[in-house]
Structure 1
């Protein structure tokens, strides 16, 4: 594994060397020879040059070439920067284990594009590749659904539930869900949704927040007196500050 990581880092350094950046002085001094960014054919040539010194299995080369091509190609030529090796290295190491065009692969690709775009590079952080590597496909799909809802409607997924109150034991009972907007359709393991929420919280990406104040539920006792019999809670699954920054870097 250490050798694989070292190889990924070495490739990352070579890719960074091969991708040209804007040279303001040269642009002014040699306008006729101005060359900003890379054309599609330049990308393919660069990737071949990068892989040449390394003994990499043909299957892995075939996988990395289109991945890098797509990631570089979505960045406007005038905005292209060399990707930081500390971001590109872990991405190349992580992508080798992911199916092509999976939600995880797409997050890696978008992060690489962000790190190479001078208008968005400030959103890329080396820690984000490590977050992606710890996600399951279901968790990536859930994050994408949350982000899409936030961009489309400016809100988060909501939950509303009640808990009965036992006056004798002074304890609240199990949750009885009334409204649950958290999407499960399309998940491979929808029964793991509670664990996914806990894991994303542990990663510092999402958390459940109180949407509004809780409401006590009252009823009448045998004497006609009003007593509390339960509570109603209103929650929202939101991105943390880190989560918002992460999604800005790994989304189109």
Structure 2
């Protein structure tokens, strides 16, 4: 019976759902959260969020996400805080309510923070929410790594058959150094990650171009042991040479916008 009364109270007082998370609503940081999310919470909490908040495990997770968001809002001057458009705020609050991975949640809270400031609200596009949903943890790490970058160098290696046979064997396709620059859970899936980011429009490699500066590719030749690979294939007698092809993944303008919107950078004075 008491649980029923608590539920009725939460549903009836939906806009005040923050009171179930924060005891002191007068804190400057909490006031910023309330200002930015006032309308969003009215739309978000109809009945589902208050009901979920009765679950202690759910409440702890949601409180953690709100605190992360609050800390990011603390870097924004109070006069720049604006009310988040429910079109972007409502689905993000919903995702944060059950997102347990910190790195994926960080992308959501960073995007929500961008939507909470009059200086950056133009960066927060609703379509970015669906893109974050399509990311694995490793891909979230790649996204953060690509902030302020323009391209990712890559090489391919092809073993060409002896004269008279125009065929070739593809040894390596679009190999990058990302798996050595980042701590990935599944580095062996790097090709899948890059294909996914390309399908999302974040990356593009359809240009068939390469950078003129050879130094950009030297570390990749060493990483993939080109000299050893070339020797091992040519000494079999079946192949005449191993060809190295240079290219790069271009970070698209759309991709740069997405990465910037989902990355947290403290405002520089």
Paired position in structure 1 for 2:155: 160
Q: 1:246: how far off? A: 0.3
Structure 2 residue 256 is matched with structure 1 residue 244: yes
TM-aligned CA distance change 1:238 to 1:14, over 3 Å: farther
Cα deviation digits, residues 27-58 of structure 1 (max 9, x gap)? xxxxxxxxxxx922424777899679733324
TM-aligned CA distance change 1:199 to 1:178, over 3 Å: closer
Aligned mates of 2:68, 2:172 — CA distance in 1: 45
Q: 1:70: how far off? A: 3.0
Q: Identify unmatched segments of 5+ residues in structure 2.
A: 1-10, 17-26, 213-239
Assess if the C-alpha contact under 8 Å between 1:71 and 1:112 holds in 2.
Answer: no
TM-aligned CA distance change 1:144 to 1:178, over 3 Å: closer
Aligned mates of 1:178, 1:82 — CA distance in 2: 44
Coordinate RMSD, CA, aligned: 3.5
Say which structure is richer in strand.
1
Paired position in structure 1 for 2:222: none
SS in structure 1 opposite 2:51?
coil
Assess if the C-alpha contact under 8 Å between 2:81 and 2:116 holds in 1.
Answer: yes
TM-aligned CA distance change 1:61 to 1:173, over 3 Å: same
Paired position in structure 1 for 2:7: none
Q: Identify unmatched segments of 5+ residues in structure 1.
A: 1-9, 16-37, 214-227
Assess if the C-alpha contact under 8 Å between 1:131 and 1:203 holds in 2.
Answer: yes
Aligned mates of 2:31, 2:80 — CA distance in 1: 16
Structure 2 residue 35 is matched with structure 1 residue 39: no
TM-aligned CA distance change 1:159 to 1:115, over 3 Å: same
Q: 1:95: how far off? A: 1.6
Q: Looking at both structures, which has the greater relative contact order when contacts are Cα pairs under 8 Å and sequence separation is at least 6?
A: 2
Query: Could you state the TM-score of these two structures normalised by the residue count of structure 1?
Result: 0.66
Paired position in structure 2 for 1:171: 167
Q: 1:232: how far off? A: 2.5
